[in-house]
Structure 1
Amino acid sequence: MREELIAAIAEELGIEIDPTNTSCLCRVIYSATGKMALTSLWDCPENGEAISIQHFKKRAEEMLNAYLVIEPSIKNCFLQNIKSLSEEIYNIYRRNGFFYHSKYHLTPAVPKKSGTENCILYRGIDPMKKVHMSGLGMYELSKASKDRESVANMFGLQTQSMQDFLQSILKLGEWTRIDWPRDAQFLRTKPPFSRGYWQENPDREDQVSLARYGFPRKIYVFYRYKEDCFWQKQIPEWLVNDIRCVGQPSDGEYRRIASALLYMKHKLPPITTQVKRDIVQIRLGYRLPPAEEDFFKLYSWPINYDISTLTPQVFCREMSMNVYPIFEQTLETIGYQFL
């Protein structure tokens, strides 16, 4: 009975099931939890208001606990991290525009769809609609209608190539000489990037690179070495701020600039993939900019479910083979290389 129920859930979500494979069972439970959390957006509280943020998170926790009762063999994968996982599910949906905020309450986003001729991606649809899932993202294998949006527009992804993007922002501002303050950090432009993305010493070359300094808010600047001195050009704050971040400010958008600089230097690591039946394991060589990372996380499963700030699960994830071509094509258009 237990195996039949999990198999029925997997079939409804379009996820291949192997009752003996822990990773496979985790994928089913993770996706099912996300979908059931989304259905809470259509709940109708007695006061007639939209549901609260806590209501959404609580539904995710309740459903995950319920699924773990049905499938106790994978409890160790989730049990210590249920609250962290519900927070992760909430943030992935929030950052990808699945609902609107209004005084700590949530309402469903306007229904939208995008994709290719063979695969439609959905957001804000009726929770009773039967769709497949890859990670927390919903899709359907069918011929997409002509009124669909582009994937980039629907999820707020970069539309310019890295080269065009970099050239456009390099036109801003003026070059001025600088003596570096003590707290200055400089973009690491040569691997291994596992040592961190920043280094203490600047590159002494005429090629443009990236630096940052200041406290508590860092100032980001382009810099280069010319005529025996360093020159800088300040980058507008709005180009490095992650506008999807709630609470403390985040400068995660610097990764968009850093990736473009490394691309132009032919130093941006490729994205490697490994196909496992109907699943593609994707391993990043360099962390994606915020919007592209959000899209990546939406349509993929983490390798393990220890979700925390120390293990954000952003470099290696698994994605349905049905959705992967859309992800690959979208990032290749920007300039990323897949191997």
Structure 2
Amino acid sequence: MNKYNRLLSRIASDLDIRKGDTEPESNYKTRLIYSAVSRIGYSSLWDKLEEDIPITIEHFKRRIEKTLSSYLKMYPEVQSLYPEQLDEISDYIYNLLLATGNVYHSPKRISPPANKQAFINGIEFLRGTSLSEKVSISGIGTFSRKNTGNNMISVSEMFDLMPHTIIDYWTHYSEQVKFTVLKTDNRFEFLNTRPAPGNSYWIEKPDINNEKSLMRTSAPGTRIYYFYKYNNKEFEASQIPYWLTDDMNYLYLSNGLLASKKVLPDIKYQIDGAISYLQIGYLLPPAEQNMIMMYSWPKTFLNVKSNFSRVIDTDVLKAIIGLLNQTGFSFKEE
């Protein structure tokens, strides 16, 4: 931490990134470097290129990769904690910023988003901040620690989170279903309504309790999703519109279904002072999952895309718990 005129210590202070009580220093360094290069990538959105050339995705990613490469040469003790291919990091950072509205993408150019703030439970979530503004960072997400805040919009609006509970979401769509006996040569797989760590989300056998559930075509290619129930040895089913299931959106329905059955796994966490370790038991719907990924670090950077094992600023976690509890997600401290 003291090398190069205490560079990492200054990054920790500037970005308000705190060390866990029992966190190994090597892990702390990897988190600091990851957040620092994400901020430098973000700053490249304001670069002035020759002849008014627009900022491209390639320019953004190259900036991250070059900066990360430099840091790893300066701190070789953490180089083995990062993947050999640094584009895994730059791709991931770009895709996550884009998915959470922190980068605007138009043909042949990218640009910073409009400035927004949203406050909840002592945390003001920030988007589109100027480079001169003092921010705190958890993962690659920016925020401020405040006692009060003036919301331009709600946090739910800012991240396009569900305005209703996941059970209400499931009930709303499943109660509109008109079932018919399904006659098709397609093969199907069925939502596993007894989820457990390591178990597949989809299994070969249907539920035969005559309750509504979800199934999908099992052939490679575009999946077709259905509500179904198994009644008197016959499948009764109703196809679900693509817009409700594409791009992992089926997770809104599956989370709601499991929550209604009281079998949706908890999101478990362990507090280690300023940081907490998250173990996500079941993938959240895309917007909620992306928000958590944005505001957390992977537990291991060799698997930067890990959806399940994450490290997060404890204050940010408490704000997210208060937010997601309102929509039916459960957290459990271990």
- Shared fold (TM-score greater than 0.5)? yes
The question of whether the paired residues in 1 share the 8 Å contact of 2:265 and 2:281 is answered with yes
Q: Which residue type is aligned with residue 221 of structure 1?
A: Y
Q: Which residue of 1 aligns with 2:3?
A: 2
Pairwise CA distance, 1:27: 0.8
Q: Which residue of 1 aligns with 2:314?
A: 321
* Unaligned runs of at least 5 residues, structure 1: 243-251
How many residue pairs get aligned? The number is: 327
Q: Which residue type is aligned with residue 2 of structure 1?
A: K
Q: Distance in 1 between matches of 2:303 and 2:48?
A: 30
Q: Which residue of 2 aligns with 1:75?
A: 79
Q: Deviations over 1:238-277 (max 9, x none)?
A: 00112xxxxxxxxx11112111111111111111110011
* Unaligned runs of at least 5 residues, structure 2: none
Q: Which residue of 2 aligns with 1:245?
A: none
The question of whether the paired residues in 2 share the 8 Å contact of 1:162 and 1:260 is answered with yes
Q: Distance in 1 between matches of 2:121 and 2:67?
A: 34
Indicate whether 1:266 and 2:268 are aligned.
no
Q: Deviations over 1:62-110 (max 9, x none)?
A: 1111222332210111251311011101111111111211213101110
Indicate whether 1:287 and 2:280 are aligned.
no
Q: Distance in 1 between matches of 2:19 and 2:280?
A: 26
Pairwise CA distance, 1:215: 5.3
Q: Which residue of 1 aligns with 2:138?
A: 134
Q: Which residue type is aligned with residue 223 of structure 1?
A: Y
Q: Distance in 2 between matches of 1:47 and 1:181?
A: 59
Structural mapping, 1:14-93, within 5 Å: 14-17=16-19, 21-78=25-82, 80-93=84-97
Q: Distance in 2 between matches of 1:228 and 1:62?
A: 61
Closer/same/farther in 2, CA of residues 200 and 323 from structure 1, 3 Å limit: same
- Paired residue secondary structure (2:42): helix
Q: Which of 82, 94, 97 pairs up with 2:98?
A: 94
The question of whether the paired residues in 2 share the 8 Å contact of 1:81 and 1:306 is answered with no
- Paired residue secondary structure (1:323): helix
What is the identity percentage for the equivalent residue pairs of Structure 1 and Structure 2? 31
Closer/same/farther in 2, CA of residues 198 and 338 from structure 1, 3 Å limit: same
Q: Distance in 1 between matches of 2:192 and 2:46?
A: 47
Give the superposed CA RMSD: 1.9
Query: Which stretch of the first structure deviates more once superposed, 16-25 or 178-187?
Result: 16-25
Q: Distance in 1 between matches of 2:317 and 2:130?
A: 24
Q: Deviations over 1:277-314 (max 9, x none)?
A: 11111101111111111101100000111247xxx310
Q: Which residue type is aligned with residue 237 of structure 1?
A: Y
- Paired residue secondary structure (2:52): coil
Q: Which residue type is aligned with residue 74 of structure 2?
A: I
Indicate whether 1:203 and 2:203 are aligned.
no
| Larger RCO (alpha carbons 8 Å, 6+ apart) | 2
The question of whether the paired residues in 2 share the 8 Å contact of 1:187 and 1:197 is answered with yes
Indicate whether 1:186 and 2:190 are aligned.
yes
The question of whether the paired residues in 1 share the 8 Å contact of 2:17 and 2:136 is answered with yes
Q: Which residue type is aligned with residue 325 of structure 1?
A: K
The question of whether the paired residues in 1 share the 8 Å contact of 2:168 and 2:256 is answered with no
The question of whether the paired residues in 2 share the 8 Å contact of 1:88 and 1:307 is answered with no
Q: Which residue of 1 aligns with 2:125?
A: 121
- Paired residue secondary structure (1:306): helix
The question of whether the paired residues in 2 share the 8 Å contact of 1:115 and 1:326 is answered with no
Indicate whether 1:111 and 2:107 are aligned.
no
Q: Deviations over 1:173-220 (max 9, x none)?
A: 421111464521101111335221111111111211100015532210
Q: Which consecutive aligned stretches of 4+ in structure 1 deviate over 3 angstroms post-superposition? A: 17-20, 179-182
Indicate whether 1:239 and 2:235 are aligned.
no
Q: Distance in 1 between matches of 2:321 and 2:101?
A: 21
Q: Deviations over 1:87-140 (max 9, x none)?
A: 101111111111211213101110111122622111111022111100000111
Q: Deviations over 1:213-232 (max 9, x none)?
A: 15532210011123442211
Closer/same/farther in 2, CA of residues 146 and 203 from structure 1, 3 Å limit: same
Q: Which residue of 2 aligns with 1:248?
A: none
Closer/same/farther in 2, CA of residues 205 and 20 from structure 1, 3 Å limit: closer
The normalised TM-score by structure 1 is 0.91
- Paired residue secondary structure (1:322): helix
The question of whether the paired residues in 1 share the 8 Å contact of 2:116 and 2:126 is answered with yes
The question of whether the paired residues in 1 share the 8 Å contact of 2:230 and 2:236 is answered with yes
